[in-house]
């Protein structure tokens, strides 16, 4: 598979993403040379069962031990089952499942063995995307911004624009499409905005017994505790200049701040916290974006989307409105990053992860070949 490293070759790459919402695994095919997007291929999704989610939840914040090994087995089984439905791909971008992320202390941990997947599917796999970035002084996240830059080019954006991903944690990518390369100074600014779906999901799962607040229905029936939101915004994180990143559980204590509220009021308040953190984040952007395109599961929460529209001085719309797939953008991002890594092109830069210089992250594993 030497062609993986050939410049200018358009590859059919398969990317995967299992996010911090712990809902399941996304997989998507992208046709790209690692610079431009040439086509979007088939996509698939497999949800984690409630038992699998329990195993993954138990592993959050742990770096080793039997609990992590059990979670890794869940991740590998899910990916093997899902990736097997795709045919004729040149390269796989395997993100794995993040269970711990502490770039300034222990590093970052994504469960899953890309080398084993390469052998299983007889296809080269790029994986461990974040470790090199952290070793070079970066935060290891967010990593989708370089793909967001390619998407801005694909939709022919002519003014500064932002992509807002609302997964377990929120992150934003501000883009100036006048630049030619994402690693150029001034082309991008990216960072984690604050908690997003993770605390909402955890709250309603524990209180109401449902996995998420479908369409924001619970929040819509509640009243926001404005004092709790204001107290939340006093967290020092929001004053830190970007780039900056978060672990899924960095704001887990906000659930305690609403413990005396009704289910609906608590859900409305946590949802408002998510929206407020995004508004704070936009104030860090070099220029107000002409539009914010929302991707990830949070865009399906109409209560959250309405709060965003009310708190931001620019257009807010689902990324699907410009012809992109908001459910698969993260998986497509790791297909794109896999090709960039295979070509030794940068996958992060100082403006996205605070890494010391533009770096090409990821480990490229080839299928084992027996001697003949």
Q: What is the CATH number of the domain that holds 23?
A: 3.30.420.40
Asked if pLDDT for residue 22 goes beyond 90, the answer is no
Say if residue 113 is in the same domain as residue 38: yes
Residue 29 sits at φ, ψ, to 5 deg, of: -100, 140
Say if residue 121 is in the same domain as residue 47: yes
227-247 confidence digits (pLDDT tens): 999 999 999 999 999 988 887
Average pLDDT, the chain: 93
Domain boundaries, position 117: 2-130+361-365
| CB-based burial, 36-67: b 16+ in 10 Å, e otherwise | ebeebbebbebebeeebbebbeebbeeeeeee
DSSP 359: B
Token pair of 203, please? 């709250």
Write the CA distances from 224 to 84, 143, 155, 284, integer angstroms.
Answer: 45, 33, 36, 25
Residue 172 is assigned to a structural domain of this protein = yes
Q: Find out whether 282 and 162 touch, Cβ atoms under 8 Å.
A: yes
Say if residue 163 is in the same domain as residue 304: yes
Say if residue 108 is in the same domain as residue 205: no
Say if residue 161 is in the same domain as residue 105: no
369 — pLDDT class (breaks 50, 70, 90)? low
Residue 35 is assigned to a structural domain of this protein = yes
2 — pLDDT class (breaks 50, 70, 90)? very low
Closest among 288, 73, 78 to 172, alpha carbons compared? 288
Of the candidate ranges 5-14, 192-201, 296-305, the one whose mean pLDDT is the lowest = 5-14
Q: How many residues does the chain have?
A: 372
Q: pTM for this one? A: 0.92
Residue 348 is assigned to a structural domain of this protein = no
Asked if pLDDT for residue 370 goes beyond 90, the answer is no
Q: Find out whether 270 and 204 touch, Cβ atoms under 8 Å.
A: no
Say if residue 168 is in the same domain as residue 303: yes
Of the candidate ranges 108-122, 262-276, 357-371, the one whose mean pLDDT is the lowest = 357-371
Asked if pLDDT for residue 327 goes beyond 60, the answer is yes
Closest among 371, 368, 335 to 10, alpha carbons compared? 335
**How far apart are alpha carbons 204 and 208 in whole angstroms?**
5
Say if residue 192 is in the same domain as residue 248: yes
40 or 372: whose pLDDT is higher? 40
**How far apart are alpha carbons 338 and 37 in whole angstroms?**
13
Residue 115 is assigned to a structural domain of this protein = yes
Say if residue 285 is in the same domain as residue 180: yes
Residue 68 is assigned to a structural domain of this protein = yes
Of the candidate ranges 5-9, 118-122, 153-157, 245-249, the one whose mean pLDDT is the lowest = 5-9
Residue 346 is assigned to a structural domain of this protein = no
Rounded to an integer, the average pLDDT of 280-295 is 96
Residue 257 is assigned to a structural domain of this protein = yes
Q: Where are the beta strands (DSSP E) in the chain?
A: 11-18, 24-32, 37-47, 91-102, 107-111, 125-127, 161-166, 169-175, 188-195, 291-295, 315-318, 363-365
Say if residue 191 is in the same domain as residue 314: yes
1 — pLDDT class (breaks 50, 70, 90)? very low
Say if residue 218 is in the same domain as residue 313: yes
Cis peptide before 142 (omega within 30 of 0): yes
Distance, C-alpha 297 to centroid of its chain: 11
Say if residue 174 is in the same domain as residue 315: yes
Asked if pLDDT for residue 262 goes beyond 60, the answer is yes
Q: Find out whether 11 and 315 touch, Cβ atoms under 8 Å.
A: no
Say if residue 218 is in the same domain as residue 261: yes
Cis peptide before 355 (omega within 30 of 0): no
371 — pLDDT class (breaks 50, 70, 90)? very low
Residue 171 is assigned to a structural domain of this protein = yes
Give the count of domains, the chain.
2
pLDDT at 5: 46
């Amino acid at each position: 598979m030497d062609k993986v490293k050939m410049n200018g070759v358009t590859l059919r790459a398969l990317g995967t993403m299992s996010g911090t919402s712990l809902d399941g695994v996304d997989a998507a095919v992208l046709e790209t040379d690692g610079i431009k997007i040439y086509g979007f291929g088939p996509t698939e999704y497999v949800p984690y069962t409630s038992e699998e989610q329990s195993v993954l939840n138990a592993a959050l914040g742990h770096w080793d031990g039997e609990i992590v090994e059990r979670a890794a087995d869940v991740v590998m089984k899910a990916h093997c089952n899902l990736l097997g439905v795709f045919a004729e791909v040149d390269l796989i971008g395997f993100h794995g499942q993040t269970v711990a992320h502490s770039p300034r202390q222990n590093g970052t941990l994504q469960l899953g063995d890309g080398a084993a997947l390469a052998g299983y599917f007889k296809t080269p796999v790029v994986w461990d995307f974040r470790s090199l970035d952290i070793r070079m002084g970066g935060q290891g996240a967010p990593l989708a911004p370089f793909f967001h830059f390619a998407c801005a080019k694909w939709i022919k954006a002519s003014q500064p624009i932002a992509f807002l991903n609302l997964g377990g944690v929120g992150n934003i990518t501000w883009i100036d499409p006048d630049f030619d390369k994402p690693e150029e100074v001034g082309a991008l600014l990216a960072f984690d905005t604050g908690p997003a779906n993770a605390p909402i999901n955890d709250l309603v799962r524990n209180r109401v017994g449902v996995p998420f607040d479908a369409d924001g229905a619970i929040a819509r029936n509640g009243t926001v505790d404005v004092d709790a939101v204001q107290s939340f915004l006093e967290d020092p994180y929001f004053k830190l200049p970007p780039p900056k990143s978060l672990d899924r559980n960095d704001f887990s204590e906000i659930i305690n701040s609403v413990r005396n509220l009704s289910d609906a009021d608590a859900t409305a308040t946590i949802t408002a916290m998510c929206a407020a953190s995004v508004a704070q984040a936009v104030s860090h952007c070099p220029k107000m974006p002409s539009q914010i395109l929302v991707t990830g599961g949070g865009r399906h929460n109409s209560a959250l989307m309405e709060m965003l529209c009310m708190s931001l001085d620019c257009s807010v719309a689902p990324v699907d409105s410009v012809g992109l797939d908001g459910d698969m953008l993260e998986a497509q991002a790791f297909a794109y990053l896999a090709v960039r890594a295979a070509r030794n092109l940068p996958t992060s830069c100082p403006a996205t992860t605070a890494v010391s210089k533009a770096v090409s992250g990821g480990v490229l594993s080839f299928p084992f070949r027996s001697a003949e």
